[in-house]
């Protein structure tokens, strides 16, 4: 019994505990979810921008393979 009293006297209630308040923990999880989704969207947009279509390349086509081929 003496140990239980000593244990109870040393415990301090933490008002900022994550598990103590359902409202503050759900708000925290909401913000974490929003930040994760936003980072995934921005990362995807950056990846699409990095691998974007750069335009029509200059391709050398042999004259004998054209629609109207030119022979020597």
DSSP conformation letters of 26-51: HHHHHHHHHHHHHHHHHHHHHHHHHT
Question: CB-based contacts of 14: which residues, under 8 Å, 6+ apart?
Answer: 20
Structure-block tokens of residue 49: 């921008």
Q: Of the candidates 33, 30, 53, which has an alpha carbon nearest to the alpha carbon of residue 41? A: 33
More confident residue, 15 or 65: 65
Question: pLDDT tens across 11-42, in order?
Answer: 777 776 666 667 778 888 999 999 999 999 99
Model pTM score: 0.52
């Amino acid at each position: 019994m003496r140990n239980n009293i000593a244990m109870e006297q040393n415990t301090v209630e933490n008002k900022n505990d994550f598990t103590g308040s359902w409202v503050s923990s759900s708000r925290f999880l909401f913000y974490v979810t929003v930040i994760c989704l936003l980072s995934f969207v921005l990362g995807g947009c950056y990846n699409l921008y990095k691998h974007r279509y750069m335009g029509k390349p200059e391709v050398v086509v042999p004259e004998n393979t054209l629609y109207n081929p030119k022979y020597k």
